[in-house]
Chain A
């Protein structure tokens, strides 16, 4: 099974990470790459859980594909919630002091930094965010 369909609620995060982790085990992913993938997956699933259907609860699908040569993990998050492109948000200014820092925007910023490629698509009423990382 390479797809998990799950209610988009934040308490399902451990199940999402376990599902992705199982695929990472199969390709012998390093601890460091696994960490980065977990951070990215947490940010994306948290966003969907918090905003896609708010205040209703909807469903999310997580699809994992392993591409070969070089081994690349491709994870797609799909929801039918409100159209939202997280990549359109400007990056936070990481050179500001603690006092000047705003509390938001770091999650998707780290996702972009930690993955080799992040792609957003809105198709047939679905938000599709795809993360790619060569491991």
Chain B
């Protein structure tokens, strides 16, 4: 009898130790607020979800959903309500919640749809696959490809433009790649072109990469960065609407366009 009680106590402590080991206090010392991105935000969202304040995706992006959740938490716990996560907020949150870092990171790296609510076994809160599938109900998905974009653009726009930039200008300097992305966005603002990024890219004869199928090559990170910079306002083309390679262009019309500058192999014009 004594032996079985002793064994039970050891087992209980063992289990507790395993659980505590998995529960990592990983917040870094930095103050985070809206606009932040990364592991600290993943922990923040997971902890807020554990205690029911956050219902959105655990994707590491400190957007408005996370912001309101932080404010509500701060209000409930008698903290300054500013949506900024400093030492005080972190301490209260760590004391009030749990965070299963390894489990959360595993779900993210596997692209699973998952939540991290307290009171429900974690095993029941995950579904395989669905990366990028959106979903609802606060399910997180693989965030490897997640980026923060200006509100008027979507990740689909980013992907499509990155394909176009990679297909059209992968051998060009970075400046030239940003310029190609900027031309697509300039067309979006111009009354002479269609109204959506997709229509602009797939407009017949608009881009060589569409005609020769190179748009379907998998873009690299550099092409994505170039698109991201263009979406954030950079325009090395200086407001160009067209570009062409002077060594291969045969259309008299394109040569008649007023030219602005040359970057690498491309002349940019309007």
Say whether A and B bind each other.
no
